[in-house]
Chain A
Amino acid sequence: MTITVEKNAYLKDLTKKIRRHIVKMTHHAGSGHPGGSLSATELLTVLFNEHMRVDPKNPDWNDRDCFFLSKGHCTPVYYSVLAEKGFFPVEELMTFRDVDGRLHGHPCGEHIPGVDISSGSLGQGLSVGNGVALAAKLDGSERRSYVMIGDGELQEGQVWEAAMTTAHYNLDNVCAIIDWNKIQLDDFVENVKGVKNLGDKFRSFGWHVIEIDGHDLEQVDEAYREAERTKGRPTAILAHTVKGKGISFMEDTHEWHGLAPNDEQLEIALKELE
């Protein structure tokens, strides 16, 4: 047991709250990406609340840990976690994708406290994470870099260019989190362009690999601890997840990759999340 019963209950409650934000935000906007947000909910909730050294009151603090959402479309979960952590008011979540708001469809690093890079074009996050990690090594800083990558996103070549860089420079302060929900926009990943033997792929690139159930709070927490303990090489957490997790009709289907619930669907979803 790495987290206490009380903590587990607290985090569980928080993930439920975040899932409610996700469906409400996408319903509000009439668009957005609930599927990959719901699959990453535990991974991001535990990361921001139990592991990352960040200060919502001082988001640009020099020595902070950095997180890069390489799968930039999953802003509903990202913004929700940031808001619940205190980076900006929770009420602002209901301005998601509004033309006069700052919570754009994909994150804009310049405008949102706690967001360190703009993303949305897949494949770029790990390179950026490596850059922060190289700077940390140069400065003798303990800061760490976390990068969340989708499994479909692994089809982007830059991810593997960057994976070589991370291992080549022994960046043990980099932790890549693969949200392995098995589904991309069009279809199951294996039907589009498979990413089989993911563990072997990362291991052969020189990474330490941890494979977990990405919805099990304890396993998620322990994986981050193991990553922090691992020295001399970077860690990839391969998190088996379910796309659309938590809402029965959204689970395990590509239909809800980028679709917003209508009024009726919202009602059902919120009921399931009570």
Chain B
Amino acid sequence: MAEMIAPRQGYGEALVRLGEKHNDVVVLDADCAKANLTTMFKGKYPNRFFNIGISECDLVGTAAGLAVAGKVPFANAYANFLTGRAFDQMRVSVCYSNNNVKIVGHNAGTSAAQEGATHLPLEDISLMRSLPRMTVIVPADSLEMEKAVEAAYHFEGPVYLRVGKLPVPVVTKREDPFVIGKAKFYKEGGDVSIISTGIMLDEALKAAEELETQGISAEVIHVHTIKPIDAEAIIKTASKTKHVVTVEEHSIIGGLGSAVAEVLSENCPVPVKRVGTNDRFGVSGKMDELLDFFELRSHRIVSSAFELLKEKAPV
């Protein structure tokens, strides 16, 4: 049984280590420091922490100014308010101005849980992916989050990092390499490709096991960087298996599923099934209940794989 750790825990700790090594790291929050665990950084480096208050647009603009002055700001807020409300600030003051700002969206996906629809970010990846110059990173677990924070710092340019609040299984390994823009093959297989992002890697691996017991060999690829997408890896697996299921804790409009479908339709047209939330808002519920509610579960990945294989099977 994998250890359960909240991705925000790995984020908070990694930020402190980053602050220790690099004086130019500054952290901003929009009155969610306790929830986002940027309190860890604040505790250690109070001078380099700025609570900008409940004003996401000002938060992002201030971060842009800090970047103009040579700092490497990490601007934190709940993902939906940050990406929805401050979209234009990211577009103009960050991306168009090419400022080295790290945008960190918290309470990601179902981890906003019982807060309900207003707080459940299911569109953030889609929004961030549409911005020129924005790199979009969605780590699988706390351990990968730590690597992503480090990589985001060393990457010159705007980055969006998606961070979950509640404990999820740690499925990646300490020794796994993390390179922005490079997908990782977690399991080899020949019949169907399961391409996942974020915490869905866990369900993807479970689905592959279930498929195996039914005689279907699934390949599992984890795409932590949704933009720039690793087209090479996606084309490679799709050319091999000819069947692709994508899985994400996000709307199927504009997220990983869309990104993969875009790559494949132009380069290697094979049938694709997208598992994610449909064109709808969330509800209140415990995270596990929400994952069930949206069917962000291995059984849905398995049934999607079967649907694909059936479609392609000779009559």
Contacts and interface: CB of A to CB of B under 8 A. Distances in A.
Interface of A: 62, 66, 108-110, 116-121, 123-136, 138-139, 143, 145, 157-158, 161-162, 164-165, 168-169
A121 B62 contact: no
Contact of A124 (B26, B50, B66, B93): B93
Contacts of A158: 55, 57-58, 61, 89
Nearest to A106: B92
A116 B62 contact: no
B177 interface: no
B66 A132 contact: yes
Given A121-B92, A128-B93, A161-B58, A138 B48 contact: yes
B210 interface: no
Given A138-B48, A158-B57, 9 more contacts: A117-B68, A118-B93, A121-B88, A124-B61, A128-B64, A130-B61, A131-B62, A131-B73, A132-B66
A242 to B, nearest CB: 29
Q: Which of B55, B61, B65, B73 is most buried by chain A, counting CB atoms within 10 A of its CB?
A: B65
Contacts, number: 113
A127 B64 contact: yes
Contact of B91 (A121, A130, A168): A121
A133 B48 CA distance: 13
B97 A134 contact: no
Contacts of B73: 131
A135 B98 contact: no
B57 A118 contact: no
A29 B61 CA distance: 30
Interface of B: 26, 47-48, 50, 52-53, 55, 57-58, 60-71, 73, 88-89, 91-93, 96-99
Contacts of A165: 52-53, 55, 58, 62
A161 B55 contact: yes
Given A108-B96, A138-B26, A127 B69 contact: no
22 contacts: A110-B98, A117-B97, A124-B61, A124-B92, A125-B61, A127-B65, A127-B89, A128-B65, A131-B68, A132-B65, A135-B26, A135-B65, A135-B66, A135-B69, A135-B70, A138-B26, A138-B47, A138-B71, A158-B89, A161-B58, A162-B61, A165-B58
B62 A134 contact: yes
Max chain A C-beta neighbours (<10 A), residue from B53, B57, B67, B88? B57
Contacts of B69: 66, 131-132, 135-136, 139, 143
Given A117-B97, A118-B93, A66 B61 contact: no
Nearest to B52: A165
A225 to B, nearest CB: 24
Contacts of A162: 58, 61-62
Contacts of B98: 109-110
Contacts of A128: 61-62, 64-65, 68, 93
Nearest to A109: B97
A117 B67 CA distance: 10
A189 B246 CA distance: 52
